[in-house]
Structure 1
């Protein structure tokens, strides 16, 4: 399989808003983006990443995560763009490498933010997904019963070289985002980590957050818990053991109306948002 270097443009963070990519995971599967290392020392270090979707987190047995230049955004501590090298999509996982060559905390993220639309044209239903700015141009003339709904998906992990920094956690105000109180590269087994979740820039209160530890293939029972955010969108997670953890919260609006003739064909567009972080907890 051919390997190549995928450059990430300086404005790639904005390009996420216009990404036209598949959702990060199917409804029944969990998407993940797992680094080989999260805490580093020295001047420079290569970190490898595995990305996939599966029932059990971090088990490459279902489908690779499909990454694109628009969806994969690598942000260095100073706000500049990093680059993915050796990007390879296999049968069950996608892999790539990143040279971590600036001190501080890096964010490696895959995401899509846009709008889903549906309509009826001459009795036939149609649908489209893409950037909100392109919606009007992609609704055919004469379409009726047009319904649209925003969607936002983010999957993130973090790597720190030297002393941890907080610049990559500045929220955009779109979709669900995590603003850490406890730095995500400073998590220790048996201690609590505190995180704040925002939805469209406001505290995401009274929301379920799923926390699952990796390595299910080696255990009889899954190690998973659900915690709930408080009025400020904050949640405290006490890590039972060291390991890699999958942390997820989502939102879905069930109230979107169905356009005429669209029923039974996958349902109408529904506003939704999802956020996932992959975190390493040290002993």
Structure 2
């Protein structure tokens, strides 16, 4: 029988393998818009892919089955010209009203490990199928929810903040300034929240596109402070991939208004179908302009 500590490590690894970007293999998911700043109504094309080097069409497409485009008025916009390829998926839309738009893709997977007899097994699926698909004689059942969010922002004319307001659900990025007013040489402050509370001690990675034209990745690594805040100084213009994920532990909220801290993986509690442990990942594509 698998020891409890090993079982917990197994469920952690299983959940992380389903949460993009896959840190262990450097598989990074992303949305890449053709432009993020428009002066008027123009068509926008957005590619969605998974690759080692960000924004490179290499490993495969990012699924768009949970794609949402939200306009400045808070209403959803239907994507057009959806296409599915071997290296990327893509879609288009035509923002017409002034303000800031958000395109997002959400991936959510329920994972469980369990022991049946002398065999250790893994399951993934939907919550409604859990009871009938997990054997009645299963022991050491541990359930985890893998959540991954991918976002990018497009602004027509004057920026607006409707799509920037946090929903206080899951891992969210709060921007202290308009997402399309980022300039090379400037320093921008951000904040991460988990279920509406500051996400403290969260590792953040920022990678500029175009790695194939450099001899190094150019990654910026930082960490959120006690209030979930962090800052990034933009060395150059271009598209940037920003990601945060709780790779080695569970996000814990200790009380109302408190910050969220990372608990080491060896201390992970056992998750149940009613209260699974959670693995959360957030990725944004941001364009930095030349001043």
- What TM-score range do you get, normalising by the shorter chain? 0.7 to 0.9
CA distance, structure 2, for counterparts of residue 131 and residue 157 of structure 1: 27
Among candidates 91, 103, 108, match of residue 98 of structure 2:
103
- Is the contact made by 1:61 and 1:92 (CA closer than 8 Å) also made in structure 2? yes
Offset at residue 59 of structure 1 (A): 0.9
Among candidates 59, 63, 66, match of residue 63 of structure 2:
66
Among candidates 186, 192, 195, match of residue 187 of structure 2:
192
Runs of at least 5 residues in structure 1 that lack an aligned partner in the other structure: 1-21, 260-268
Residue 276, structure 1, aligned to residue 283, structure 2: yes
Offset at residue 195 of structure 1 (A): 0.9
Offset at residue 258 of structure 1 (A): 8.4
Offset at residue 274 of structure 1 (A): 0.6
Residue 163, structure 1, aligned to residue 158, structure 2: yes
CA distance, structure 2, for counterparts of residue 110 and residue 274 of structure 1: 12
Offset at residue 128 of structure 1 (A): 3.6
Q: Pairwise mapping of residues 239-258 of structure 1 onto structure 2 (< 5 A)?
A: 239-252=234-247, 253=249, 254-255=265-266, 256=268
CA distance, structure 2, for counterparts of residue 168 and residue 228 of structure 1: 25
Matched positions, count: 250
CA distance, structure 1, for counterparts of residue 146 and residue 221 of structure 2: 23
Aligned match of 2:252: none
Change (3 A) 1:91 1:212: same
Residues 55-96 of structure 1, C-alpha deviation per residue, up to 9 Å, x if partnerless?
A: 11111122111221xx21111111111112111121211111
- Is the contact made by 1:38 and 1:160 (CA closer than 8 Å) also made in structure 2? yes
User: Which segment drifts farther, 29-38 or 110-119?
Assistant: 110-119
Q: Pairwise mapping of residues 145-224 of structure 1 onto structure 2 (< 5 A)?
A: 145-224=140-219
Among candidates 84, 87, 91, match of residue 86 of structure 2:
91
RMSD (CA atoms): 2.3
TM-score (norm 2): 0.78
TM-score (norm 1): 0.80
SS in structure 1 of the partner of residue 163 of structure 2: helix
Offset at residue 171 of structure 1 (A): 2.0
CA distance, structure 2, for counterparts of residue 238 and residue 244 of structure 1: 14
- Is the contact made by 2:20 and 2:281 (CA closer than 8 Å) also made in structure 1? no
Change (3 A) 1:242 1:105: same
CA distance, structure 2, for counterparts of residue 133 and residue 201 of structure 1: 27
Offset at residue 102 of structure 1 (A): 2.5
Aligned match of 1:46: 43
Offset at residue 50 of structure 1 (A): 1.1
SS in structure 1 of the partner of residue 43 of structure 2: strand
CA distance, structure 1, for counterparts of residue 130 and residue 205 of structure 2: 33
Aligned match of 2:35: 37
- Is the contact made by 1:24 and 1:65 (CA closer than 8 Å) also made in structure 2? no
Offset at residue 165 of structure 1 (A): 1.0
- Is the contact made by 1:150 and 1:272 (CA closer than 8 Å) also made in structure 2? yes
Offset at residue 111 of structure 1 (A): 1.2
Higher helix share: 2
Runs of at least 5 residues in structure 2 that lack an aligned partner in the other structure: 1-17, 250-264
Aligned match of 1:15: none
Offset at residue 26 of structure 1 (A): 3.8
